[in-house]
Structure 1
Amino acid sequence: MSSHTETSDGMLLISNSHRFNRALCPSEISVARFSVGFDEPVFGLHRVLKGSLYLSERRLAPERIHKAAGLDMFGHLDSYEIEQTFDTSADLETRVLIIPIRQMNVLMGEDFVSHMLEILGITKLNSYNPFFEVPLSISGILDDSLDNRLTDRFKSLRLHAGILDYLCTLGIYLDSNIVTRFNKRSRSRARSVHDYLISLEGKTPTLAEIGKQFDATPNQLNKEFTAEYGESIFSFLTNFRLDQARYALQIGNEPIKVLAHAIGYAHVNHFTAAFKRKFGQPPGVFRSLSSPQC
């Protein structure tokens, strides 16, 4: 038996229950493989309340995954192709929660959602974490949000409130219990970004381009970098490159226009203005004053 309740903003909770006549059923029942595509990326939860089953998903693992009560599977996906095999030794009850990432960003903020996906290990689109243990007191919030005695309008409202409660409680749990691991990962990534920045030559990449390379949103990456180095990515890179230019002006005679292009400035006047703001004088004046006097 299957039922689903959907909120007005696209959040969906599906309840499935299966009863088996163990005298007649084989020990396992395979369900035909099926595919589902979404109009946009979603956050997905697959939870087993009772019994167990095996899941096979082409992007998840080459072998099938055994799912039993107590372990939740989280996903960040825009489609899935899955095959289920039911263990008939006990009746089976499952929940599937689907929330558009766009809606989560509205409700919780993009940075918080990015933080949550990273802790769950599902930052990349079409990634899964099939073995994440969440306390029953948190997972049970979704069960309490279902009330078949209500009319459809109030079912949807009750579900909406329950999902918000679940996301908030899950977020607090993840933040308080795994913050140390997250901080280590954040610091490691900030240091990797630092090494990448000081190796750059030429045109400065955008924050979005850097974020894509390091699998993080621009805001999240900038926050991590600022926490580690005390200034934003753009500020650090600007100061680092201007320091490089200052040193080059002191020891060499490369034309200022060539030097400006080498450190990422498309127009020499932009370089001149930035150099003057930092060092108090234009690069040409600085070079002449730094040259050895005969």
Structure 2
Amino acid sequence: MGSTIVSSSCDWLCSEEQSFIEWGSSEQDSPRRTYLIPEDIGSGWVESMHLPLNQVIRHGRVTFKPEVSGRLYPVTKMVEHFKEPVLCIQSVRTGLVILSDHNHKQDLIINRNASLFQHFDHRNSSAKMDTSEDVDYVILIIGDSVLRELFGEESAASLLRGLRVTLIPSGIVNKVPNHINAILHSAVSDHLTGATAKLHAQSKVLDYLCSLYKYFATEVKEEQSSQNVKELIHQVHNDLIQLQGKVPALGELAKHYDISVKQLSHEFRNTYKKSLFSYISEVRLNEAQASLQNTDTPMKTIAKNLGYSHVNHFITAFNRQFGYSPGSLRKKNNTAAPSKPSL
């Protein structure tokens, strides 16, 4: 069975040598690879297993020398492509990792009490580690189709809602009880090898997923049954504010968040005093105005990131909200900017 992962590439940022490695769908079963870390900094390794139910689990350890304590040390840059959207979970048993998501330009802090949950169809990120403590981490990657096969359509959707990663792409750090994290970390064993190690890891991953569902998804169901939708509407708002590109249709959003179209529309307007699409459009155009004033980002790129199919549609909407064109704003700022002295 081929992995959900189409390709993975890793660049060891901690090495001055050319250290770019790649592996494909059939190579996700990988023995320990040594981190190319200078000896005066420390040492480490990472290993990967493709599990029987088509999930991939990775385990890594990095040990730092006491002399370098207190730094944030760049370790790897990772680019991956997937056959379908995946749920990617990153958890640490010891240490602290700062993951930079280059697609969304955000830094996410992972420690023993807070795990990172991402829902995406490609990854472009880099990691720094706090050298104050050795880092022991686990990464679990599960395709959406595998998640639905394990849980069923409705329960899989409930889990994603509970984790707050229904949209693609999305990512959030959630606090997870230690007893649940411990199950995931026990999936990787130093004493087992081959098929036995995979069987052990698979059983622990299933146990972990069930515990995760019980903790996060059950809570969502209880909130919904008590008609406490205020928090859900705030979640919709926060997810859409972070989303780039076209905003999903109202019916699609309602299905994602397990709420009726009528209730979603009504509750959003009650909370934010505007229709959902009017509100998001206004926020995005304000962001566009700031980008035009403070960056040299091409207008076509700004329009695409805001979800406009054509730059002319963006220009019309911008003009309608502010009373002047985006081109005139950029021209005004370029004219006002002081020219650089010639050498």
TM-score range, shorter chain: 0.5 to 0.7
> CA shift at 1:22, angstroms?
2.4
CA distance in 2, matches of 1:144, 1:30: 27
Does residue 146 of the first structure (1) align with residue 146 of the second (2)?
Answer: no
CA RMSD in angstroms comes to 3.0
* Residue number in structure 2 paired with 1:74: 117
| Alpha-carbon separation, structure 1, partners of 2:72 and 2:59 | 21
User: 4+ runs of 1 displaced by more than 4 Å?
Assistant: 186-189
The one-letter code matched in structure 2 to 1:70 is N
The 1:89–1:79 alpha-carbon spacing in structure 2 relative to 1, beyond 3 Å, is same
TM-score, normalised to structure 2's length?
Answer: 0.53
Higher relative contact order (CA 8 A, sep 6+): 1
Deviation at 1:78, TM superposition (A): 1.0
Percent identity of the aligned residues?
A: 21
Q: Does 1:40 align with 2:80?
A: no
1:118 aligns with 2:161: yes
Equivalent residue runs for 1:235-274 within 5 Å: none
Aligned to 1:147, the other structure's residue is in SS state coil
Q: Closer, same or farther in 2 for the Cα pair 1:32/1:13, shift >3 Å?
A: closer
Q: Shift of residue 125 of structure 1?
A: 1.0
Q: Report the TM-score when normalising by structure 1.
A: 0.61
Structure 2 spans left out of the alignment, 5+ residues:
1-44, 234-247, 264-343
Residue 55 of structure 1 contacts residue 66 of structure 1 at CA under 8 Å; is this kept in 2? yes
Higher strand share: 2
Q: Do the aligned partners of 2:95 and 2:111 also contact (CA within 8 Å) in 1?
A: yes
Of 127, 136, 160, the residue aligned with 1:84 is 127
What corresponds to 1:261 in structure 2?
Answer: none
Residue type at the aligned position of 2:65: N
Equivalence for 1:136: 178
Alignment check: 8 A CA contact 2:161 2:220 kept: no
Asked if 1 retains the 8 angstrom alpha-carbon contact of 2:99 and 2:125, the reply is: yes
Secondary structure at the counterpart of residue 115 of structure 1: helix
Report the number of matched residues. 204
* SS at structure 2 position matched to 1:65: strand
The C-alpha deviation readout for 1:14-34, integer Å capped at 9, x for no partner, is 111100112157722113533
SS in 1 for 2:210: helix
- 1:163-178 to structure 2, matched below 5 A, reads 163-178=205-220
Q: Any idea what the Cα deviations from partners look like across 1:115-166, whole Å, max 9, x if unmatched?
A: 1111111001110012x11111111112222233333112222222111111
Kindly indicate whether the alpha-carbon contact (under 8 Å) linking 2:96 and 2:110 is maintained by their aligned counterparts in 1: yes
Matches within 5 A, 1:92-103: 92-103=135-146
Name the CA distance, whole Å, in 2 between partners of 1:59 and 1:12.
22
Deviation of 1:90 after TM superposition, in Å, equals 1.0
Deviations 1:194-229 (A, max 9, x none): xxxxxxxxxxxxxx9764243528xx557x98xxxx
Gaps of 5+ in 1: 190-207, 226-294
The 2-side partners of 1:75 and 1:52 are apart by: 18
Which has the greater radius of gyration?
1
